[in-house]
Amino acid sequence: MTSSFERVIATRRAVAVAIALSMAVASTSIAVGFLTDDHGFRAMLHATSQRAPAAHDLFRFVPGDPADTQLRVRFGRLPWWSSGDLRIHVLLRGRDT
């Protein structure tokens, strides 16, 4: 037994309204431009350093290297209780190396 609300939101019109409303709300962010971490990601993409990550690897926030993790803890990028072998990598591609 379905409620009247469930019947209304299951219609094509309700789905179209939800999509249009979502797009209208999201479109306001386009005019804002780049913010906060966007600049860091752009800098990494344009970097010429050997240590710069590849474009597919931008979301490897903590690589799992104990020395690197210790530096991040020391400079406040990670909390003091972070494990030395902490790894944070979003959007893994295949086998993790």
Q: Cα–Cα distance between 51 and 43 in angstroms, integer?
A: 12
Answer whether residue 85 shows pLDDT above 60.
yes
User: For the segment 35-69, what is each residue's pLDDT rounded down to a tens digit?
Assistant: 888 888 888 888 888 877 777 778 888 888 999 99
Place of tokens 């710069």: 52
Question: 93 pLDDT band (50/70/90 cuts)?
Answer: low
Rounded Cα–Cα distance for residues 35 and 37 (Å): 6
The whole-model pTM stands at: 0.48
